[in-house]
Amino acid sequence: MISIQNKWTLITGASSGIGEAFAHELAARGSHLILVARTEAKLRALAEKLQQAHRIKAEVIVCDLAEEGSPNRLYQECADRGLSVDILINNAGFATYGLFEQLSGPRQHEEMMLNVVAVADLTHLFLSSMLQRKSGVVINLASTAGFQPLPNMAVYGATKAFVLSFTQALWEENRKRGVQFLALCPGSTETDFFNVVAAEEASVGKRATPEYVVQTALRSLQAEKSYVIPGLMNYISSQMSRFVPRKQMLYIVGRMLRTR
């Protein structure tokens, strides 16, 4: 893993949850930060706190990455400010819960734009300069949801399967060119995720802390892994799809996530 000290890290969805935990941990290790989210007040409060506590630089960029063209606008804003991104953490994302045809079509479209399109676009935009420097890190937030289809969370599961596959492919493409990729695949975590989903039944298993998830990710970068699943039980449940027939797996997951 590249040295974090005095490097610039861009974190999407930085105002809370895993994104905020990344910001705290990387600032403590001496990284400068580009904090990206939709809520300016939270970002500015976080930036001020981290600058005072760790004497690092922190830039705030307000951006809704579910909007068409927003990754390009974010990239251009970084260029206009003279910011060179050494570490990219594509953390922003959300889920919807319920029967596919009953959920809002526009909302599910936003889900795909944020969880898939923004991740691919930002990776494409920032990767070129990393390759030129032969140095860089990209962490993409996948999920244990990416290892099998999710009835009642069909779009979310599919987006995270994309992120997992996409990131592992780029890990292989770039592992000898100086840029590390990691797909971070947490299970249920103590964040605002389930408040946004508005369905407690979407939470499966014991919830990890964001800090634990972040520490696991950084250790996995040191080990040059292509993906990591924080927590033993999360790992075991995610690997079940390798051994259980797909029809049976769908039945099991469908019962776990059925609407109530």
Residues carrying an active site annotation: 156, 160
Dihedral (CA of 32, 132, 161, 74) sign = positive
Q: For residues 149 and 155, what is the distance between their CA atoms, to the nearest angstrom?
A: 9
Helix (H, G, I), strand (E, B) or coil at 12: strand
Q: What single DSSP character describes residue 29?
A: T
Q: Please tell me the total number of residues recorded for the chain in this structure.
A: 260
Long-range contacts at 125-133 (CB < 8 A, ≥ 24 apart)? 125/71, 125/72, 125/75, 126/10, 126/75, 126/85, 126/88, 127/170, 127/174, 127/179, 129/84, 129/85, 130/85, 130/86, 130/178, 130/179, 131/174, 131/177, 131/178, 131/179, 133/178
